[in-house]
């Protein structure tokens, strides 16, 4: 079954003829990029990554290195979603404004490179979550080949391992703005707090890290398999001391749970799909 889906994905990409991939450096867009590169060749596949205050610097650098490893022409562009008051206000559909800003910039680049299709890394599992960016993708005619091939995240990771994609098991890393509860205005200073805190944890060897920003409170979410590490009093105190130095007044720890901030939205409106 998974082999048939992969073959179908290749047929979809072949039908695009040429493609620009909205490339974050995560497993999904990287899988699309490598598959497209293998099917269409280097001249007909290119990648663009957004650089902004909501994108961790280490993630941007990793995307650059990965594009080079995949032998794909890669451009980094600056996006300014934080200048949009609608985005800064952090409504439930914040991602719509971010993706609109991104896709507004990608379409002219695709024309410049004479690429016929722009695509992203949305997968089938994403359809079950609250994803406002999908509306922006539809409005701009952005393709989602992983959805069209009916590929799940688990299947993408399995295929990624099979084709030796370097990031096949990389943890998800959504933008830093996702660390704020809806309605909490996002500022550049607070984004820097989140990035610094998460970088500190990752430098200590934690792979799955979320620093949820609640004003004066910081909730540190760590991967289920890693959470026991903070039972070490000395390590926990070291982490707490650093997070407090960033300007927080309170720090507490919880196991990571994906999509926690979206659960309330889904419960209020189970059919939400934007």
Instruction: State mean pLDDT over 235-246.
Output: 98
Q: How confident is the model at residue 129 (pLDDT cuts 50, 70, 90)?
A: confident
CATH number for region 176-257: 3.30.70.2210
Please determine, for residue 50, whether its predicted confidence score (pLDDT) is greater than 70.
yes
If one looks up domain 2-162 in CATH, what number appears?
Answer: 3.40.50.620
Where does CATH 3.30.70.2210 sit in the chain? 176-257
User: What pLDDT was estimated at residue 260?
Assistant: 58
pLDDT band at 189 (very low <50, low <70, confident <90, very high): very high
- Cα–Cα–Cα angle for 149, 154, 158, rounded to 5 degrees: 90
In sequence order, the β-bridge partners of residue 118 are 20
Compute the 3-state secondary structure of the chain and give helix, strand, coil in percent, each to the nearest 5. Answer: 55, 15, 35
Q: What are phi and psi of 258, to 5 degrees?
A: -65, 140
Burial status of residue 201 (CB atoms within 10 A of its CB: 0-12, 13-18, 19 or more): buried
pLDDT digit string, tens, across residues 147-169: 999 999 999 999 999 999 999 99
The residues pairing with 141 across neighbouring beta strands, listed in sequence order, are none
Interaxial angle between packed helices 27-40 and 153-162, expressed in degrees from 0 to 180 and rounded to the nearest 10: 50
pTM of the model: 0.92
Residue 1 has pLDDT above 90, yes or no: no
- CATH 3.40.50.620 segments of the chain: 2-162
């Amino acid at each position: 079954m998974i082999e048939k889906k992969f073959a179908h994905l290749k047929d979809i990409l072949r039908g695009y003829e040429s493609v620009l991939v909205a490339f974050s450096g995560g497993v999904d867009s990287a899988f699309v990029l490598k598959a497209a590169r293998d099917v269409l060749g280097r001249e007909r596949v290119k990648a663009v990554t957004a650089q902004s205050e909501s994108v961790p610097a280490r993630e941007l650098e990793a995307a650059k290195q990965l594009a080079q490893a995949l032998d794909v022409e890669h451009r980094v562009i600056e996006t300014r979603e934080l200048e949009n008051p609608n985005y800064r206000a952090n409504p439930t559909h914040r991602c719509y404004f971010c993706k609109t800003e991104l896709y507004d910039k990608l379409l002219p680049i695709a024309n410049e490179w004479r690429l016929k299709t722009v695509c992203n890394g949305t997968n089938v599992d994403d359809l079950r979550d609250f994803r406002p960016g999908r509306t922006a993708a539809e409005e701009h005619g952005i393709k989602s080949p992983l959805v069209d091939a009916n590929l799940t995240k688990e299947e993408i990771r399995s295929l990624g391992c099979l084709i030796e994609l370097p990031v096949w098991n990389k943890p998800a890393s959504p933008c830093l703005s996702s660390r704020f509860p809806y309605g909490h205005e996002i500022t550049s200073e607070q984004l820097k707090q989140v990035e610094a805190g998460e970088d500190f944890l990752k430098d200590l060897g934690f792979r799955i890290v979320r620093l949820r920003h609640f004003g004066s409170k910081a909730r540190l979410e760590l991967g289920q398999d890693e959470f026991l590490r903070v039972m070490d009093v000395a390590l926990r105190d070291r982490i707490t001391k650093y997070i407090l130095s960033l300007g927080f007044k309170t720090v507490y720890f919880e196991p990571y749970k994906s999509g926690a901030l979206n659960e309330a939205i889904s419960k209020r409106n189970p059919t939400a799909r934007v």
